[in-house]
Structure 1
Amino acid sequence: NNPTLKEKLLKIKEDAHFKNEFYISQGKDNLDINLYNTTGGGIYKNPLEELKEKLELYNHKYYLYPVLYFYGFGNGILYKILLQNKNHQKIVIFEPNISLLFALFNAIDFSKELSSLTILDPCEKNFFYDLSFLSQTEPYFKFLRVYFLDIHSEFYEQNYQENILKINKKFTGLIKDIFMKQGNDPEDGLIGIKHNLKHLSSMLSNSSLLDLIKARKDKMQNAIIVSTGPSLIKQLPLLKKYASKASIFCADSSYTILAKHGIKPDYVLSTERVLATSKFFDNDFKEFDQGILFILSILTHPQTLNFIQSNPYRKYILTPKDMFFNNFQFKQILSLGQGHSVAHMCYDLALMLNHKNIILIGQD
């Protein structure tokens, strides 16, 4: 479940000149496995005693935890035993020594455990991006509130203390950001649920994003995303000149401005759930709206949808919001990423339709 790590291990295997900096020492007991660095020092002082201490801790204090996080893979025996507990669904491990993993995977069979292990290299440049992405998937997201980072052994604490502190600090910050994106206002959340349920039938009875992608993916190379920053007015003449050479993705607040200047967007997107946003659609531009596709978050205010539906020229798609829609298992419904602003929503759609060149204007 980590293609980058797999590729690194394969490169080591193919490298005829590779000399591993770690070697394995096997004691009389099958679990008495230590790894020594060629520059000196072992992963453990006493492998069996340290394994026993960790298992006692986890069986006593963390027996019911579905997701566990460790810095250091060590000899991997701890994870083999922990995964015998069916409560532990996933174990995430940060291991900076690829050569250590290579030595272990060639000596010990982890094939049964690999589907439950997520091993990330904290030295990889995309490490925090991968960690953030992973954290927003299940089952990791569901149990982020009980996150803690354990250090596998004293070896890792002594040699990687700075990196451990950096990861823990940044990851706890990421967790806070992820929760904030889900909303921190219960009343606002209830409004979203109410709108979601009210618009569900309209969403299911209309075209979907999947239909749009099937029809229009790869049809246009260029995309222009139009927001309403102060610079927009200065850019309108240039936009009008090149409108036919690109797909125009328009934020709801830019829609009336483009209509007044005779620039027809291909898509008008809206994500807010407040009544004030509805006013962007309280107008009648008649035939101008023909051919424009209005793409709204299912959380949109009911008045927004009323205004859209009152105009026979307006065609629309409602898209689900993940946090409200995860419990509905509609296979033909595709969610559109709805980030901090409607411009993020436009950008996500432009990517889905495989535009190669994406230009943002008015996003000051």
Structure 2
Amino acid sequence: CADSAYAILAKHGIKPDYVCMLERTDFTAEFFKEAYEGIDGGVLFILASLVHPKALSYLENRSFMLVSKPSRMCLDFKLHLFGYLGGGPSVAYMNYSLAMLLKHKNIILIGQDLAYDEKGNSHPSDYKHGSNFESEEEHIEIMAYGGNGKVTTHGIWVYFKSFLEQIINENIFSTTYNCTEGGARIEGSLEKPFKEVCEELLIKDLNKPFKKLNSL
């Protein structure tokens, strides 16, 4: 999941396998300030190598790894054996890139509304920095989820959406489902209710936790 979603999931008892962080600000680092007993264990936090030092200090007693984006600066360090992840402008792109690298045949997007809600809020009510955190940005109309009507968004979200649509289009290995059930249409994804996709795809017991791999 995305860094900003982790606290929301944890408060509802939902434990992700991976949590990604891309941005480098101290503001973003605050998403990891609070620890969640019973949830944190077994979660791997995957952070871009340029995140704020506060993020690392908050994760001191949790499992995390640093990865580099394939940016010109990171490539100049010639640490190619460590690999690269992401390359896009958003943490959603980073998560999608990870799912591709893990060869998931089905990728389900949820919470990628990339638009304001009916009340003009930019984020959920339990978002750490407030539901109207980005509500003052210029509003732009784009196609709504389901193709019926329009929703309002802003320029940065349109930018994020275009990168996400590009990587979905390039991913010939996976089927991408958009189960957000609202917000903006993300071209290239199949729009289906989350409950329906879960009933179709989540039919096997994964027997977690998985067997640990040996160190390289």
Q: 2:58 is matched with which residue?
A: 307
- Which consecutive unaligned segments of at least 5 residues does structure 1 have? 1-249
| Residue 343 (structure 1) aligned with residue 71 (structure 2) | no
Q: 1:266 is matched with which residue?
A: 17
| Whole-Å separation in 2 of the counterparts to 1:287 and 1:258 | 12
Tell me the amino acid that sits aligned with residue 352 of structure 1: L
The two structures, once aligned, show a CA RMSD in angstroms of 1.1
| Residue 320 (structure 1) aligned with residue 71 (structure 2) | no
Tell me the amino acid that sits aligned with residue 345 of structure 1: M
Q: Which has the higher helix share?
A: 1
Any idea what the Cα deviations from partners look like across 1:149-190, whole Å, max 9, x if unmatched? xxxxxxxxxxxxxxxxxxxxxxxxxxxxxxxxxxxxxxxxxx
Matches within 5 A, 1:283-294: 283-294=34-45
| Whole-Å separation in 1 of the counterparts to 2:80 and 2:87 | 19
Tell me whether 336-345 or 325-334 shows the greater mean CA deviation. 325-334
CA apart distance, 1:326:
1.4
Q: 2:81 is matched with which residue?
A: 332
Q: 1:280 aligns with which of 10, 19, 31?
A: 31
CA apart distance, 1:289:
0.6
Any idea what the Cα deviations from partners look like across 1:67-112, whole Å, max 9, x if unmatched? xxxxxxxxxxxxxxxxxxxxxxxxxxxxxxxxxxxxxxxxxxxxxx
Moved over 6 A (4+): none
| Whole-Å separation in 1 of the counterparts to 2:72 and 2:64 | 22
CA apart distance, 1:287:
3.2
Q: In percent, how many aligned pairs have the same letter?
A: 51
CA apart distance, 1:337:
1.5
Matches within 5 A, 1:245-256: 250-256=1-7
Tell me the amino acid that sits aligned with residue 257 of structure 1: I
Any idea what the Cα deviations from partners look like across 1:190-239, whole Å, max 9, x if unmatched? xxxxxxxxxxxxxxxxxxxxxxxxxxxxxxxxxxxxxxxxxxxxxxxxxx
Tell me the amino acid that sits aligned with residue 316 of structure 1: F
| Whole-Å separation in 2 of the counterparts to 1:263 and 1:338 | 28
Matches within 5 A, 1:190-269: 250-269=1-20
Whether the 8 Å CA contact 1:271–1:338 is kept in 2: the answer is no
CA apart distance, 1:327:
1.7
Tell me the amino acid that sits aligned with residue 361 of structure 1: I
What SS is found at the alignment partner of 1:285? Answer: coil
Tell me the amino acid that sits aligned with residue 63 of structure 2: K
| Whole-Å separation in 2 of the counterparts to 1:354 and 1:270 | 21
State TM-score, norm by structure 2: 0.50
Tell me the amino acid that sits aligned with residue 360 of structure 1: L
What SS is found at the alignment partner of 1:339? Answer: coil
| Whole-Å separation in 2 of the counterparts to 1:349 and 1:255 | 17
Tell me the amino acid that sits aligned with residue 59 of structure 2: I
CA apart distance, 1:330:
2.5
| Whole-Å separation in 2 of the counterparts to 1:331 and 1:360 | 30
| Whole-Å separation in 2 of the counterparts to 1:319 and 1:329 | 13
Tell me the amino acid that sits aligned with residue 317 of structure 1: M
| Whole-Å separation in 2 of the counterparts to 1:331 and 1:260 | 38
| Residue 352 (structure 1) aligned with residue 104 (structure 2) | no
Q: Look at both structures and tell me which one has the larger radius of gyration over its CA atoms.
A: 1
Cα separation, partners in 2 of 1:338 and 1:286, compared to 1, 3 Å: farther
- Which consecutive unaligned segments of at least 5 residues does structure 2 have? 114-216
CA apart distance, 1:331:
4.0
What SS is found at the alignment partner of 1:332? Answer: helix
What SS is found at the alignment partner of 1:289? Answer: coil
CA apart distance, 1:324:
1.9
| Whole-Å separation in 2 of the counterparts to 1:326 and 1:255 | 30
